[in-house]
Structure 1
Amino acid sequence: MVLSSKEQIEDLLADILQNSSEEDEEVLHHLLGGLRDKQQGIHRRYINAALHMVGEFKPEESEVRIPITPVIHNTIKVPHGGIIATIADAAMGGLASRSVPEGFNVVTTTINISYIATTTNKELIARGRFVHKGRQTLVMECDIEDETGRKLAIATASFFVIKRRPS
């Protein structure tokens, strides 16, 4: 007998819970809570839901935050560099995309990150701003800190303006 997708998920979940550590349960709770938030319309994208990402975008600056949990840890239990790059790209790209005319969007063409420090605190915060606003390209910069103000990284990125694809 072939199991349905829901039955496969139920079996997988039961197996995971049977052999779970406290950290496994924390991660599962975090990820399932994010998926529920996506279903409820709190997040539009799965990556934002999985990371519990929230942002505030003003005309010239942005702020994006994610909690630091085992979901984003590397092997030494600090935020993974790729996650720091992701939050920086979200802060800069989100700001850039809001600055282009209706019917257009942006894609990242380059991103450079200099990592400065690590943290074991509670939150990552990325603050993006413009360096250059052209008709076809935008250049941005971003500081990534924890909630204490400890600077973890600095990033720059370039974005290319494209026509928005039909949905």
Structure 2
Amino acid sequence: MQEEMHKLLDEVLEGADEEEVISIRQLLNGVKRKQNKLNESIIGGIFAMDKCLDAGNFTISIPITTVTHNSLHIVHGGVTATLVDTAMGTLANMMLPEGYGAVTTNLNVHYLAPGIGEGLTASATIVHQGSKTMVVDGKVVDSAGKVVAHSTGSFFIIKKD
């Protein structure tokens, strides 16, 4: 399998332009970030998610790169949605006792501005925490502080097996 992977990587790199080489490097570094436990998931590693809990405020930041771009060279809406869902879901899970988890049941994202600049930061706050569900508010801002998206999410609380 490794020989097959080396062959594929060589083929892709041989025909790659500069943007594609940068993207391949970011994808490989993302896997490395997960292996080194800098991120808990491959997607968190690929987007180089950096989590911060400071004085009760929870945020996740990502750099804007060719991997996050859509065909218009702005951040793809799905990346923005993934970022804010991750921030809200992580906060929801942090609020639960041991043995419980929260999963997204509804995600609303209102896109307000294009994702441009150096990076994006998503913040999350709990709106309501019940015994079976949570509602969380999320916001994504660009590196200049402009609000890119506002979001709300509903989360179902489950007992882990």
TM-score (norm 2): 0.96
2:61 to 62, 65, 71: 65
Partner of 2:114: 118
1:76 to 56, 72, 75: 72
The alignment of Structure 1 onto Structure 2 pairs a total of residues equal to 161
C-alpha distance in 2, partners of 1:164/1:59?
28
Q: Tell me the CA shift for residue 58 of structure 1.
A: 5.3
Partner of 1:104: 100
Structure 2 residue 19 is matched with structure 1 residue 23: yes
Residues 61, 130 of structure 1: 8 Å contact kept: no
C-alpha distance in 2, partners of 1:161/1:114?
24
Q: Tell me the CA shift for residue 59 of structure 1.
A: 7.8
Q: Deviations 1:19-43 (Å, cap 9, x if unpaired)? A: 1100011101111111112112212
Q: Mind listing any 5+ residue stretches in structure 2 that lack a counterpart? A: none
**AA of the residue aligned to 2:76:** H
Residues 51, 58 of structure 2: 8 Å contact kept: yes
Structure having the higher Rg = 1
Structure 2 residue 151 is matched with structure 1 residue 155: yes
**AA of the residue aligned to 2:2:** K
C-alpha distance in 2, partners of 1:103/1:58?
24
C-alpha distance in 1, partners of 2:8/2:87?
35
C-alpha distance in 1, partners of 2:49/2:26?
12
1:53 to 38, 49, 55: 49
Q: Mind listing any 5+ residue stretches in structure 1 that lack a counterpart? A: none
Measured on the aligned residues, the alpha-carbon RMSD in Å equals 1.2
> Share of identical aligned residues, percent?
35
C-alpha distance in 1, partners of 2:42/2:125?
25
C-alpha distance in 2, partners of 1:21/1:86?
27
Does the C-alpha gap of structure 1 residues 119 and 85 become closer, same or farther in structure 2, counting only changes over 3 Å? closer
Partner of 1:40: 36
Residues 30, 43 of structure 2: 8 Å contact kept: no
Q: Deviations 1:14-71 (Å, cap 9, x if unpaired)? A: 1111111000111011111111121122122111011111112358531011111010
C-alpha distance in 1, partners of 2:151/2:111?
9
